[in-house]
Structure 1
Amino acid sequence: MAYSPASSGPISPAERIDAIDVLRGIALFGVMAINIVTEFRVSIFAQFVSYPSPESPVDRAVEAFLSVAVELKAFALFSLLFGIGLAIQFDRLANSGRRVLLLVRRLTVLLAFGLVHLCLLFNGDILTEYALAGLIVLPILFGPRWLLAGAALVSLALYLAMQGFPPPGLFPDRARIWYQVVEATRIYPTGDFLDVLAFRLRELPFIFPLHVFIIPRTIGLFLVGALAWRIGMVQYPPRRLLFIGLPCIGLGLALILAGLEALGTIVLALGYAAAIIGSARLPRGARLLGWAAPLGRMAFTNYLMQSLIFGWVFYGYGLGLFGRIGAASALTIGVAVYIGQVFFSSWWLRRYRYGPVEWLWRTLMYGEPQPMALSSTPQPTSA
């Protein structure tokens, strides 16, 4: 069933968004787990040079599990979700003469948030890349579904080709990467905020090639998400989504274990998305997974909040645990923060329409204050 703003479907729009928010809330756990284990705890480049860090058999088991089942898959899920969300906004603004202006403003504001986050808090930021990829994808949304499908295939094929044939000169040599890891291990756990900030800015030229390498996949998955919304796949009967999702999960894991990690990650992310959305739309699944919906509705706020908290935990202006604890201990801290965010998000959304950052984003997008308290009357621009 193709979606249109006035179409009816097997479930209401609110229920569809609830299922998407459940997926977003669960995907946020995966992003948190990878960020805290591989980027806040140690240098992001340590994985490329096998730099030693505190490890036990439990730590190695945690790292192995995250590598196979979560690493890059959570980010791929977020890319799919961003594409779905962008297509929803695009279609719902179809009758607005300001559609392009509003969506460009939305992505430009996101870019500003991303640059601040990237420079001041965490150079593993994904918001900047998502804003730039969104600006590339936006014109394609005016085209028919075959154009979305073709552009998605081209982008994903380019990403897969780059795995075997990376652009020459894109990545720095091993010695320069090793030096960055050594410097990170020296500065991050002991430096004050300005020391950490200065080093983070010096790391940016080394971070940039990673985004260049991954952005074709991001664009491709944005388009896959938009296409899934356009063809009504998100609105498929839940059991059909499970029928699609579970075999994709099995195939994705098999591809990863067979050494085809880039392709397997994409297939596994698609499987996760279909299985979780399908489960969340079943009565029992909605009861079991409903806790994740408030977290997903406030994913922007929670993502930035994690950077604030983890920066204080691992950097020298806080507890200075960078490079001093293993993966299992770091993940335990992350799980504790995540659980706290589950309760905080539920508490907040019983009182307000949006998370605080989500409210600011919408307000800047529409150019006028949006209603915040649940008792306030929604404005027409809030559609």
Structure 2
Amino acid sequence: MKVERVELMDALRGFSLIGILLANMLHFQFGSSGVEIIESANLLDKISYYFVKIVVEGSFYPIFGFVFGFVLIKMIESREASGLKYKNIVFRRAIGLSILGAMHIALVWEGDVLLTYGSTLFILLVFFLKRRVKTYFVWGIILTAILGVGAYFGSSFIKLLKPLTAAEIMIYQDGTYAEIFAQRIGDFIIGDGLIFLLTLPIGWLFLTIVSFLAVGPFVLFGIGMAKKGAFLQLANSTQTYKKVAMLVPVGLLLKGFIIFDTPFSLFIYSAGTYVLAIGYIALFAWLFNRYQTQMTNYFAPIGKLSLTNYLMQSIICTIIFYGYGFGLFGKLGVFVGILLSVIIYVMQLKISQLYLTRFSIGPVEMMLRWFIYLKNPRKVN
């Protein structure tokens, strides 16, 4: 039995990268001082800031998680269809992603998600990979409810976050790589690092649980939809996707509550991020069915190289904004950051298209698959 590859998932993964870059751009530019800087920004930057918060932030990582779960199950089904085992493959993938994530945090940028997905894979491997379809949706809803409760009380936690001081901002703007490295993780190594190392098993367990809470709902939804055979026959479900896509304006309306300072704003906003993510997935599937050739040509290549492109976004942006590069940290404004995100993404689209005319797999994807399969990835079934 041959397991069908769902081309939509490559394109959807590629589409999610523009949202991830736009959301990350605020942190690349301003770090944890973003909110304070916006309060004194001009009107264009304030509009741009809320555009990112409402249209983008929090709604594209769920899409990436959905694809992650969907593709994971398709890989497992493919292995099983060929009479091969999958558990060691998933285990090494979890380790590989965790190592890449830890290196990303230590060497480039602290806003990593690879470690999160690597940690999530461990929980999936132990508890979730051979369950009934209903189980994935039930647990996805349970985790969503838990996050909703967290969002309700989350405003108090956000107020505890320490904004960057003027001295810390200067380090990001003018510091050397060594100084920025120390700024990024120095407090951990000198202060809480020893405590963490002494309690490493507990710390790792805590990280794994938090990671699963963060991305688990849509990963589980993706697994459930893959097991249901969704997206294999797009033409047969066009009207369904079109109806579900109506969640897009609903999600935008809910996320718009972030503008208002009420005790429930963060909770409503958080609910909107998930509603909007579901709407975006359905809208993309509907458009993909109508314009499959065009959307495959544009979005699938960058999606197939998503790991390489994700890491390159961090490298490019830290060079632009940090002192060991152009030192533009906090200087360009949110609107210019949006334009810069679009330029970087379009460049990655074109480069990915050209790259795949000569190679079948990205450089980082190649290294990860060597580790996972312990042989040349091109020879993997």
Normalising by the residue count of structure 1, what TM-score does the alignment of the two structures yield? Answer: 0.85
1:252 aligns with 2:251: yes
- Name 1:195's counterpart in structure 2: 179
- Name 2:56's counterpart in structure 1: 70
Residue 244 (structure 1) shift: 3.8
- Name 1:231's counterpart in structure 2: 228
**Would the alpha carbon gap of residues 181 and 131 (structure 1) be closer, same or farther in structure 2, given more than 3 Å must change?**
farther
Q: What CA distance in whole angstroms lies between the structure 2 residues aligned with 1:135 and 1:265?
A: 26
Normalising by the residue count of structure 2, what TM-score does the alignment of the two structures yield? Answer: 0.85
The partner residue of 1:341 within 333, 343, 348 is 348
- Structure 1, gaps ≥5 residues long: 8-12, 372-378
5 Å-filtered alignment, 1:1-383, equals 6=2, 13-14=4-5, 16=6, 18-36=7-25, 38-43=26-31, 45-47=32-34, 50-51=36-37, 55-95=41-81, 96-138=83-125, 139-165=127-153, 171=157, 174=160, 177-178=162-163, 180-202=164-186, 215-238=212-235, 239-258=238-257, 259=265, 260-282=268-290, 284-288=291-295, 290-371=297-378, 379=379, 382-383=380-381
Alpha-carbon displacement from aligned partner over 1:347-372 (angstroms, at most 9, x marks no partner): 1101111111111111111001222x
Q: What CA distance in whole angstroms lies between the structure 1 residues aligned with 2:46 and 2:102?
A: 33
AA matched with 1:149: F
SS of 1:42's partner is helix
Q: What CA distance in whole angstroms lies between the structure 2 residues aligned with 1:167 and 1:86?
A: 34
Q: What CA distance in whole angstroms lies between the structure 2 residues aligned with 1:195 and 1:148?
A: 45
Cα RMSD after superposing both structures? 2.7
Please say if residues 119 and 207 of structure 2, whose CA atoms lie closer than 8 Å, have aligned partners that are also in contact. Answer: no
Residue 53 (structure 1) shift: 7.6
SS of 1:320's partner is coil
- Structure 2, gaps ≥5 residues long: 194-202, 258-264
Q: What CA distance in whole angstroms lies between the structure 1 residues aligned with 2:183 and 2:39?
A: 20
SS of 1:73's partner is coil
**Would the alpha carbon gap of residues 213 and 173 (structure 1) be closer, same or farther in structure 2, given more than 3 Å must change?**
farther
Residue 192 (structure 1) shift: 0.4
AA matched with 2:247: C
SS of 2:174's partner is coil
Please say if residues 123 and 208 of structure 2, whose CA atoms lie closer than 8 Å, have aligned partners that are also in contact. Answer: no
SS of 1:189's partner is helix
Alpha-carbon displacement from aligned partner over 1:185-241 (angstroms, at most 9, x marks no partner): 1211111001111111146679x9999767414111110111111112222534135
**Would the alpha carbon gap of residues 23 and 322 (structure 1) be closer, same or farther in structure 2, given more than 3 Å must change?**
same
SS of 2:100's partner is helix
Q: Mean alpha-carbon deviation: is it higher for 185-194 or for 250-259?
A: 250-259
Residue 340 (structure 1) shift: 1.1
**Would the alpha carbon gap of residues 266 and 172 (structure 1) be closer, same or farther in structure 2, given more than 3 Å must change?**
closer
Q: What CA distance in whole angstroms lies between the structure 1 residues aligned with 2:244 and 2:231?
A: 12
Q: What CA distance in whole angstroms lies between the structure 2 residues aligned with 1:30 and 1:103?
A: 27
Structure with higher helix content: 2
**Would the alpha carbon gap of residues 58 and 30 (structure 1) be closer, same or farther in structure 2, given more than 3 Å must change?**
same
Residue 264 (structure 1) shift: 1.3
AA matched with 1:191: G
Alpha-carbon displacement from aligned partner over 1:266-288 (angstroms, at most 9, x marks no partner): 11101111211232133x34325
**Would the alpha carbon gap of residues 163 and 230 (structure 1) be closer, same or farther in structure 2, given more than 3 Å must change?**
same
Q: What CA distance in whole angstroms lies between the structure 1 residues aligned with 2:295 and 2:222?
A: 25
SS of 1:188's partner is helix
Percent sequence identity over aligned pairs: 24
SS of 2:162's partner is helix
